[in-house]
Amino acid sequence: MRDRSIVLWVVLGAVLLAVLNLPASVSSQAKAALREGVAPLQGALSGFTRWVGESIRSVRGIGGLVRENQQMSAELVRLRNEVRDLQSLAQDNAALREQLQFSAQSGRRLTPCEVIARDITGWWQTIRLSKGVSDGVSMDMAVMTSDGLVGKTVDVSARTSDVLLISDAGCKVSARVVRTGAFGVVSGNGPARSGQASCRMDFINKNVPVLPGDEVVTSGLGGVFPKGLLIGYVDKVHKDESGLFQRADIIPKADLGRLTYVFVVAEQSYGADDYLMKTRSSEGGAP
């Protein structure tokens, strides 16, 4: 076996020497033939190498696109959240401007408050405000918005106060129909399945015509609610079961389901008639 190997190497060496010593014309022809024979293999190898390189670059590019897409998606989410925050701030700003403008124009001393909580057991019954005794808020003070009456304070701590809404059955408001001057008592109907807060006005004189759309305001009687605060509008009118009175369904003007900022009426102002009565009383004249 070893002798055969030696012989093979000797033969290969002799062939190599013979090729190297060939004439130039013959050597060129041999080299050309070798190139022609090897060219297809070299072309295939080169094409395969390019394909592998392009595939690797493509995979890397896809990975980069995936990462870029993820970053753009995250940025889009962040921008959308910022837009929502800005829209919310704009709405709060508009609400504050409206309430503050109302406060400046009102003839009453009002304490602005933010609604910080609601009674989860009864959506329309109570809300909690951000101010209390330390801010001049006390029990049985009227609470309103620029739209109309909301309720009255019923439980006050140093820094918070709870408000019983006019839609609660326990909130009683002495009221008057503006068009006719008819008096009555407004109370709440409690939570409604439709989600719309509603009230009712009882003990209206049966002989006084009350019509849908009539404006209802506080009468000023009872000492809790100042005179002239808008409560809402008559929706429907019914005869009382006793036949002695009539009652009316009232739609509150203030949106009790979307309260954000309210005012506690800290002091009642006087209109022209009230001021005249107070002046006559102080002068000893007839009220």
Distance of alpha carbon 270 from alpha carbon 37, whole angstroms: 115
Digit-by-digit pLDDT tens for the chain (287 residues) are: 666 677 666 666 666 566 555 565 555 666 566 556 656 766 677 777 777 766 666 656 665 666 777 777 777 776 777 666 666 566 666 655 665 655 554 557 788 899 999 886 665 589 999 999 999 999 999 999 888 999 999 999 999 999 999 999 999 999 999 999 999 999 998 766 666 788 999 999 999 999 999 999 999 998 889 998 999 999 999 988 888 899 999 999 998 888 888 999 975 444 434 433 333 344 333 33
For residues 263 and 174, membership in a common domain is answered with: yes
For residues 100 and 129, membership in a common domain is answered with: no
Instruction: Read off the CATH number of the domain in which 139 is found.
Output: 2.40.10.340
Look up the domain containing 222 and give its range: 110-267
For residues 95 and 125, membership in a common domain is answered with: no
Distance of alpha carbon 226 from alpha carbon 212, whole angstroms: 24
For residues 122 and 231, membership in a common domain is answered with: yes
For residues 44 and 136, membership in a common domain is answered with: no
For residues 195 and 249, membership in a common domain is answered with: yes
115 part of a folded domain: yes
Q: Which two tokens stand for residue 2?
A: 């070893």
140 part of a folded domain: yes
Number of structural domains the chain divides into: 2
Query: Nearest 5°: phi and psi at 269?
Result: -90, 170
Distance of alpha carbon 150 from alpha carbon 101, whole angstroms: 18
